[in-house]
Amino acid sequence: MPHAPQRRWELDALRGLMLVLMTLTHMPTMYSLPSGQPFGFVSAAEGFVFLSAYMAGRVYGQRGRRDGLDAMQTAFHARALKLYVCQLGLLLLAFTAIAWLGVHNRQGGVTGLLEFFFIDPASAVVGAALLLHNPPLLDILPMYIVFMLASPWLLRRGLQQGWRGVLAVSGLLWLGQQWGLGQLLYDEAVALTGLPVPYKDMGAFHWLAWQMLWVVGLWLGTRQKPLPRVPLWVLLPASLYALGMLLWRHMAGQDPLPWLPAVGMLLDKWSLGPMRVLNFASVFLVLVSAGPWLVRVLPRPHALELLGRHALAVFCAHIVIALFTLAFFGSTQVVRPWTTDVALLLAAFAGLFAVAMLLDERARGTGVLRAFSRTRHPAH
């Protein structure tokens, strides 16, 4: 009987790093823009989604092999429900306290973020509850929830019949999004149902593109064998491409060629443009190849591990902190002393670590109680 997969600290550390980068990007300070996409034209969102999919494939794939596919599906649905409850909590906060504070404090960052809510509150609330309206900052969890709900079927198909067909369909959907498939499906839905939520207010992430990142991560997570060694003839061009994109990003800024929009489309974040996918793949191959060496030589980042172990709670906390910062201090367009922005970031990270440490202590206490119970009742 297969055992449950052991927790890998390096994966927790990577997720922790993604959370740090997202916090730096989402906190409305002068450091938001410079800290975005530090490793090339690849953001923390890609890394977070891919790592989440990989860990889901690893954990739930093993659960399916050990306890059966029905148990795996139940576990997926339970996790999706937990994510949905978190999303409802964030929406409730945004549509009440944050909306009121934004209007009261005359903060355009908040009123812009909740623009559709102020235009059509009823449609915004119902649409958000149905995961159809997803304001900025609140548009990652809905995508995560839908992918989690689709994952049991994907895993069933992959484990029983192989992943080739699943990966092929996923690639075709990504390609379709590059040619406007999402907009086409939206227009058809509006014609059939009169959907009142504008396309732009359904969230910045184009799910038909981002599902490919999830499916690939899920597939790799279910592999029972280690990833094969990357051959030099693949690793060398991948390294050169990753280095070139890294230099380009920091020389040109966030917009690679403002005077040539076609290049921007090829590197578009929201639809995962082809050059962006290649950038992510090249960084991934470099990390996979250098990972064992890095794990040996670098000091173990316990702080990042702590954040990564409690990724969902820390993620939600960083959204809450960012929303309140917007409501009280304004957006990145508000000019503040650098000391104020540093203080805001320090306070934000203090809050994130406080949440993670509280949950860690709670988990340790629960573990001690369970161990004590087993010693008192060894038959159970």
Which residues touch 359 (CB under 8 Å, ≥6 apart)?
310, 313
Q: What length does the chain have?
A: 380
Separation of alpha carbons 290 and 374, rounded Å: 42
**Residue 372 above 50 pLDDT?**
no
Write down the pLDDT at residue 254.
86
Q: What is the model's pTM?
A: 0.92
**Residue 375 above 60 pLDDT?**
no
Write down the pLDDT at residue 258.
82
Per-residue pLDDT tens over the stretch 211-222:
999 999 999 999
Separation of alpha carbons 80 and 78, rounded Å: 5
Helices (H), 253-310: 261-266, 274-297, 302-309
Separation of alpha carbons 245 and 278, rounded Å: 10
Per-residue pLDDT tens over the stretch 239-272:
999 999 999 999 988 888 888 888 989 999 999 9
Which of 94, 204, 78, 92 lies closest to 140 in space, CA to CA? 204
Task: Tell which phi-psi region holds residue 203, choosing left (phi > 0), alpha (psi between -120 and 50) or beta.
Answer: left
Average pLDDT, rounded, for the chain? 92
Q: Per the structure block, which two tokens stand in for 236? A: 């060398």
What one-character-per-residue DSSP string does 45-99 give? HHHHHHHHHHHHHHHHHHHHHHH-HHHHHHHHHHHHHHHHHHHHHHHHHIIIIIH
Which of 252, 243, 241 lies closest to 274 in space, CA to CA? 241
Write down the pLDDT at residue 380.
44
Per-residue pLDDT tens over the stretch 195-235:
999 999 999 999 999 999 999 999 999 987 888 889 999 99
- 246, 252 Cβ separation under 8 angstroms: no
